[in-house]
Structure 1
Amino acid sequence: MATKTTLRAEIRSRRRARRADSLATGQLFSPGTSHSPIPVRDRAEAEGLAHQIRSLTSSMDAVTLPALFVPTPLEPDMSLALGLFERALLPVLLDEAGAPLGGSRWGLWEPGRALVTLGRPPAQPDGEVLGAESLKNADLIVIPALAASADGTRLGQGGGWYDRALTHRSPGVPVVAVIFDDEVLEAGIIPAEPHDVPVDAIVTPTRMITTSIR
């Protein structure tokens, strides 16, 4: 079985190659809209993810406060998905000086509100910083990953930020991992550890997979 370190290195390499190919074929960044301040990197990718997340929310009761994420340059393009909602919780990783915050923190984003990049991606809401416990108010949690499998196992970046943050969610709130199509792996490939929080669904630009833990 491959280790998490090996899997992360392989997936990050593919992601760098994917973005390089997009630039080489003329994929240009376009500015954010009034509904989302995140620039669109890849129109087809962004539209695909927005469609899948819209389909997911339409199958649920009304989603009033999702927890989403602002993608880094190598992550799937969530720019149009953010604009689906009237407001959202977004991770806050750095303080105003650009230093890492201890523990998980969130900020409230609403259309027309700017995001700021403090030293390094991802961008985050500019304003009041909410504590880790604010995640209990979210009724849908959409998180990044490097890979995931149909048994609910998720491969993160390795820092454990989301595994710690998700302990504050309300019971029964679905957790959805966003990845590329080639990062959906067979069950058993991703090593699972006791602290890993499983996901309820996987969303890619072309499909949604409900995991076997539901």
Structure 2
Amino acid sequence: MRHRAEAEGIASQVRALASSMGGVTLPALFVSTPLEPDMSLALGLFPRALLPVLLDEAGASLGEPRWGLWEAGSTLTTPGPPPAQPVGEALGSDALAGADLILVPALAASEDRRRLGQGGGWYDRTLPDRTPSAPIVAVVFDDEVLTGGRIPREPHDVPIDAIITPTRTLHVPARHA
């Protein structure tokens, strides 16, 4: 039952954020692994979405960030370890320029716009290709929201604009030069 409530909470937060933006036509989402907040109901909020493509059909790593277009009613495949990904053509990271909302997984996120990824740099390599007006939102569990200054920042890290948990959305303040 915890997973259902978690999935409903995440979907509720994503729905409210998309509504506050005046609607979202093409989000970039992710399919969660068992260790991440359950995104299964959030995917159903949209008729189509960009999803990460990490493996080729044989299950080998693609090496460079790729995105796939998922459409409602289409299937996802798991050619290797989770997460699942869309079936079909793998698009380059420049496909992210079409997204108007970007949700990213994280091990932790903080109020000073930092996120801690899994160390592979997949999102850090693809996020520079986004439209600058598209908000980047880290999706974490409630206990993975940290106070500022606890997550180190590397020169290649792209700051987040908000944090979604199963119970809340935190809009993090923009940095001022």
- TM class by shorter chain equals over 0.9
Displacement over 3 Å in runs of 4+: none
2:82 aligns to what? 121
From 161, 166, 180, give the equivalent of 2:127.
Answer: 166
User: Partners of 2:80 and 2:137 in 1: how far apart?
Assistant: 28
Measured after TM superposition, the shift of residue 87 of structure 1 is 0.3
Measured after TM superposition, the shift of residue 61 of structure 1 is 2.5
Letter in 2 for 1:200: D
For 1:139-178, what per-residue CA distance to the aligned partner results, in whole angstroms no more than 9, with x for missing partners?
Answer: 0000100101111010000100000110100111100000
User: Partners of 1:60 and 1:187 in 2: how far apart?
Assistant: 26
2:159 aligns to what? 198
SS of the aligned residue for 2:14 comes to helix
Measured after TM superposition, the shift of residue 200 of structure 1 is 0.1
Uncovered stretches (5+) of structure 2, i.e. residues with no partner:
none
1:177 aligns to what? 138
User: Partners of 1:62 and 1:56 in 2: how far apart?
Assistant: 9
Which has a greater percent of strand?
Answer: 2
User: Partners of 2:120 and 2:63 in 1: how far apart?
Assistant: 12
Letter in 2 for 1:126: V
User: Partners of 1:148 and 1:178 in 2: how far apart?
Assistant: 8
User: Partners of 1:162 and 1:119 in 2: how far apart?
Assistant: 19
From 92, 95, 98, give the equivalent of 1:131.
Answer: 92
For 1:179-214, what per-residue CA distance to the aligned partner results, in whole angstroms no more than 9, with x for missing partners?
Answer: 000000010011111111110000000000001227
Q: Is structure 2 residue 113 aligned with structure 1 residue 152?
A: yes
Number of equivalenced pairs: 175
From 45, 49, 65, give the equivalent of 1:104.
Answer: 65
Uncovered stretches (5+) of structure 1, i.e. residues with no partner:
1-26, 28-40
1:48 aligns to what? 9
User: Partners of 2:57 and 2:16 in 1: how far apart?
Assistant: 36
User: Partners of 1:154 and 1:174 in 2: how far apart?
Assistant: 14
Question: Identical aligned pairs, as a percentage?
Answer: 70
User: Partners of 1:117 and 1:199 in 2: how far apart?
Assistant: 28
TM-score by length of 2: 0.96
The structure whose Rg is larger is: 1
User: Partners of 1:201 and 1:174 in 2: how far apart?
Assistant: 8
Cα RMSD (Å): 1.1
SS of the aligned residue for 2:80 comes to coil
Which has a greater percent of helix?
Answer: 1
